[in-house]
Amino acid sequence: MRNENIFKPLTLPNGVELKNRIMMAPMTTCSGFYDGSVTHDLIEYYRARSGSIGTIIVECGFVDNKGLAFPGAIGLNSDDKIEGLAKIAQAIKEKGSKAVIQVYHGGRMVEPKLIGGQSPVGPSAIAAPRPNAPTPIELTAAEVDDMIDKFGQAVRRAIQAGFDGVEIHGANTYLIQQFYSPNSNQRNDKWGGNRDNRTRFALAVLDITHNMVKQYAISKFIVGYRFSPEELEVPGIRFDDTMYLLEKLAAKGLDYIHFSMGDTLRPSIVDTQDPTPLIKKYVTMRSATLAKIPVVGVGNVVNQSDVDDAIEHGYDLVAVGRACIAYPDWVDRIEKGEKLELFINSDKRETLNIPEPLWRFSLVESLIRDVNLNVKKFKPGHYQEKVNDEAYEFLINVELGKDFIKDMQLINAQNFDNEVLDNFAEIKHRIIDSNSSHVDAISGATTQCEAFKKAVTKAMARSNKEAIIAEGGDPNDRAFDVVVVGSGGAGLTAAIQAHDLGASVVIVEQMSVIGGNTNKASAGMNAAETKFQKRKGIVDSKDLFYQETMTGGKNKNNPDLLRYFVENAPDAINWLDDNDIELSGITTTGGMSIDRTHRPESGAAVGGFLISGLVKNINKRGIEVILDTAVTKIVTEHHKVTGVKVSEEDGSIHLIKAKAVIIATGGFSANTAMVEKYRPDLKGFVTTNHKGATGSGIVILETLGAGTVDMSEIQIHPTVEQTTSYLISESIRGGGAILVSKKGQRFVNELDTRDKVSAEIIKLPEHYAYILFDQQVRDENRAVEEYVANELVIQANTLEELAQKLSIDGDALVKTVERYNQFTSTKHDQDFGRITGMRHPIKKGPFYAIKIAPGVHHTMGGVTINTQTQVLNTDKHVIQGVFAAGEVVGGVHGANRIGGNAVADIIIFGMQAGKKAADYIKN
């Protein structure tokens, strides 16, 4: 029977009236900035779901820098977060819903990689009972007091941000629950031991919350408490323990309590023989005091009947989770009597205001998969594939429907630990949710994820061939308007542009992964006179950009190509922005006198961000990408392109018919023989490039008669970690870092051009140096987190301690930094003439250093093109139907590439190649 009371108001103990009994459950979105601040997408996500629903409970905000339990968490840890949080509160309240935010600390459940490699903290130094869980550092008694104060300050910030209430997060095995649990709390002071002592922390957090409400809020500020009713561990929290705690909390005063369960009517997970729902036990066991406090149920609520069942069993309020993601207007639909199914059409992410990280999260599931198809049709069935990463062999079963990826199973799962299984589960979610094998890898597990993705790619290709054969066709008889060779930034950009101008396009990539060398780009994308510069008050000019690039290239740049490059750079920034790839953060690199290096506002490395965004656009358009396939020849008849000859991984060779070809295969830095042929002096140098940067496109085009230019102009990058060939981004120096020698002294203008900085490092007796920076540089550059995670960074609390770890004279290093710091106030370096990237003194500990030396980074030489990106033969005549863009091309950068110009190059000329190839076909 339909219960109409759920749409009627309910008054909380403090007198606040909720307009109905429906809440939106707090759900992890992973959509905050790297520092915990609020993103625009997050504000719009909550705005879209506000209005008809009575109360929105915003996902948990961490109270301390060591408290975030998942990436993309939002913070209540500092006053600078208030402004962003206020925008969420305002977005919810202005549409008529109450805005409540959770406050929490992850405690021992925090992964070290989320907090810069530090150890998490907890009530006791006892790891969580799960594989590879870190052992936390036990909080001292003084630190416990400080932690309670941090919860109080977080509540104050929530009040000042305009929220109507807070929900104290005492569930999900986070810190508050850890203090109450006999499993995680084995202290022998007043905060542990017997059950009464273990209640102290939760009660103290409630006390300080009430104190903050009295000081800063109106009397009708809502205070709720969320709890997990049981723990499986032995010893662990049992239901009678939970009731004991709730009674103590109720005596102090709460406005609601909130069960945290996957199903509103879930029975005990400990006493599995008892089918009684825990809510029924709760109603029976609670005191008269506790009975006055409304209780919230959550879990598997999709339709009116689910709400009715919950209310009937004793809940006063019902929180709706995934259904609110799928249906932002859920209350309106239910009130109209609609019967809903829990799914989301795969082309509705933007329409439903679902942030991209949440779209990939496990909360978003059961999508209709009829939009993002990279293969036109499959023969339904199971396809078993064997793939390898660097350490393991995986046997994966891929189940395909007629036009979608149905399921993935790791057949030999028993051979692997939980970390591998978790990675597989996450990649499986991403692949199935997007109906594409072209999804982002998990940070820190790239090669493993690429193996999982490759199994799906192989299964899809095999299934597609079988489907074509079943219909009497020839799977090798394939024709497109344009074949793009290479899937780096230039190739993806060209493919998108050509597709949008009406051409049928396929991308052919010799490697197993999409992205090429662009994946490794870190600094940003140079452009002058952009809208983002203007918003930040940066005055720049294309002429100055031209002059500085020409000077950096030692006047060897092709003037026509360079002029096209600088004139069209702002349009390329806008094109990316129009395709949801926003590069609005701005820094500088060596050789530039103005901040014109555009990067993600978050400070993330530009390469992965760019490829991720371009791949989403590829998926959105259904552009096919063929991996593990090498183009060996461009086929022509009567001087016109007719296709490309390709060699697949299994050795089969066939022809893909085409009217035009775009070569975007990158440079040749990873081809040792080719590098030494043109530059014998670079023998033995490591390279920052991926192993596919072999110059194959140059060879193919030379066979066709293409001319080349500047082949001996090969750039070495000054800051390369030599054991891993990891490039340390120029944005770190642009953000304020310095270079010091083994003597602890500076020896160069760190932001001079790459060739000059590299030469000065090579001149040092030790032939290496250290890049040195402080916490402020780290805070402003997310790339540092990757260096920390890969154990490339040496860290110390003081410069003297850092010097000791580096075996450098401490006094010399301190004097060097002090002298540099003096220069930052005037923005003029009297020793080496540095005038850019001197953003602040190096004085905020901890301090960091990475040992670096030069490595082969970029090949400025390549095939000759004109400004139409048409490939020219050795006589400078156009080769009809053949276009090229990116590092495969020579002439743009001259004798030395400026940092940030390569990313601009691939987008600017990738756009042009796509446009001109489409024009060529039409004409």
Q: Could you tell me if 303 and 425 lie in one domain? A: no
**Structural domain of residue 730, as residue ranges?**
715-856
Question: Residue 143: its pLDDT value, please?
Answer: 97
Q: Which two tokens stand for residue 266?
A: 């879930």
Q: Are strands 653-663 and 640-648 parallel, antiparallel or unpaired?
A: antiparallel
Question: Residue 4: its pLDDT value, please?
Answer: 78
| Overall domain count for the chain | 4
Question: Residue 360: its pLDDT value, please?
Answer: 65
- Does some domain include residue 142? yes
CATH code at position 396:
3.90.1010.20
Domain-ending residue, one of 475, 509, 524: 475
Q: Please count the other Cβ atoms lying within 10 Å of the Cβ belonging to residue 736.
A: 22
Beta strands in 499-600 (DSSP E): 505-508, 525-526, 585-587, 597-599
> Tell me: the pLDDT tens digits for 544-579?
999 999 999 999 999 999 999 999 999 999 999 999
Taking Cα atoms as reference points, which of 369, 513, 383, 368 lies closest to residue 460? Answer: 383
Question: Residue 726: its pLDDT value, please?
Answer: 87
What pTM did the predictor assign? 0.57
Q: Could you tell me if 384 and 427 lie in one domain? A: yes
| pLDDT winner (highest mean) among 99-113, 510-524, 782-796 | 99-113
Please report which confidence band the pLDDT of residue 435 belongs to, taking 50, 70 and 90 as the band edges.
confident
pLDDT at 421 over 90: yes
Question: Residue 444: its pLDDT value, please?
Answer: 72
Question: Residue 235: its pLDDT value, please?
Answer: 94
Question: Residue 757: its pLDDT value, please?
Answer: 94
The helix/strand count (H/E) of the chain reads as 28, 37
Rounded distance between C-alpha atoms, residue 904 and residue 155, angstroms: 45
- Does some domain include residue 361? no
pLDDT at 274 over 60: yes
Q: Could you tell me if 624 and 731 lie in one domain? A: no
- Does some domain include residue 363? no
pLDDT at 464 over 90: no
Question: Residue 649: its pLDDT value, please?
Answer: 84
pLDDT at 104 over 80: yes
Taking Cα atoms as reference points, which of 887, 890, 497, 921 lies closest to residue 664? Answer: 887
Question: Residue 1: its pLDDT value, please?
Answer: 56
Please report which confidence band the pLDDT of residue 622 belongs to, taking 50, 70 and 90 as the band edges.
confident
pLDDT at 602 over 70: yes
Taking Cα atoms as reference points, which of 692, 724, 719 lies closest to residue 886? Answer: 692
Question: Residue 365: its pLDDT value, please?
Answer: 47
Question: Residue 692: its pLDDT value, please?
Answer: 87
CATH code at position 793:
3.90.700.10
- The partner residues of 772 in beta bridges, in order of sequence, read 738, 849
| pLDDT winner (highest mean) among 464-468, 762-766, 784-788 | 762-766
pLDDT at 371 over 50: no
> Tell me: the pLDDT tens digits for 29-84?
988 888 899 999 999 999 999 999 999 999 999 999 999 998 889 999 999 999 99
* CB distance 61 to 101 below 8 Å: yes
Question: Residue 369: its pLDDT value, please?
Answer: 42
> Tell me: the pLDDT tens digits for 898-920?
989 999 999 999 999 999 999 99
Question: Residue 731: its pLDDT value, please?
Answer: 85
- Does some domain include residue 360? no
754 catalytic residue (yes or no): yes
Rounded distance between C-alpha atoms, residue 923 and residue 914, angstroms: 14
Question: Residue 372: its pLDDT value, please?
Answer: 39
Interacting residues of 366 by C-beta distance below 8 A, sequence separation 6+: 342, 343, 344
Q: Could you tell me if 322 and 403 lie in one domain? A: no
Please report which confidence band the pLDDT of residue 378 belongs to, taking 50, 70 and 90 as the band edges.
confident
pLDDT at 191 over 90: yes
**645 alpha carbon, distance to own chain's centre:** 36
Q: Could you tell me if 647 and 790 lie in one domain? A: no
Q: Could you tell me if 105 and 201 lie in one domain? A: yes
More confident residue, 442 or 149: 149
Question: Residue 375: its pLDDT value, please?
Answer: 40
pLDDT at 708 over 70: yes
- Does some domain include residue 379? yes
CATH code at position 51:
3.20.20.70
More confident residue, 779 or 522: 779
Rounded mean pLDDT of the chain? 92
pLDDT at 367 over 50: no
Domain-ending residue, one of 453, 475, 497: 475
If you average pLDDT over residues 779-801, what whole number do you get? 90
More confident residue, 597 or 218: 597
Q: Which two tokens stand for residue 619?
A: 């998926």
* CB distance 626 to 611 below 8 Å: no
Taking Cα atoms as reference points, which of 755, 687, 693 lies closest to residue 887? Answer: 693
Q: Could you tell me if 758 and 648 lie in one domain? A: no
Please report which confidence band the pLDDT of residue 633 belongs to, taking 50, 70 and 90 as the band edges.
very high
Phi-psi bin for 422: left (phi > 0), alpha (psi -120 to 50), beta? alpha
DSSP conformation class of 798: S
pLDDT at 3 over 90: no
Domain-ending residue, one of 355, 377, 403: 355
Question: Residue 362: its pLDDT value, please?
Answer: 59
- Does some domain include residue 703? yes
Interacting residues of 122 by C-beta distance below 8 A, sequence separation 6+: 107, 108, 136, 137, 138, 139, 175, 178, 184
Question: Residue 529: its pLDDT value, please?
Answer: 97
Which of 226, 286, 754, 782 is catalytic? The answer is 754
- Does some domain include residue 159? yes
pLDDT at 364 over 80: no
pLDDT at 376 over 80: no
Helix segments in 713-771, DSSP class H: 730-734, 754-763
Q: Please count the other Cβ atoms lying within 10 Å of the Cβ belonging to residue 705.
A: 14
Taking Cα atoms as reference points, which of 349, 460, 461 lies closest to residue 401? Answer: 460
Q: Could you tell me if 312 and 190 lie in one domain? A: yes
Taking Cα atoms as reference points, which of 115, 209, 902, 164 lies closest to residue 520? Answer: 902
Q: Could you tell me if 334 and 439 lie in one domain? A: no
Beta strands in 228-287 (DSSP E): 256-259
- Does some domain include residue 258? yes
If you average pLDDT over residues 134-157, what whole number do you get? 97
Q: Could you tell me if 725 and 603 lie in one domain? A: no
Omega cis (within 30) before 235 = yes
CATH code at position 917:
3.50.50.60
Q: Could you tell me if 725 and 797 lie in one domain? A: yes
* CB distance 396 to 384 below 8 Å: yes
Q: Could you tell me if 431 and 494 lie in one domain? A: no
Question: Residue 56: its pLDDT value, please?
Answer: 98
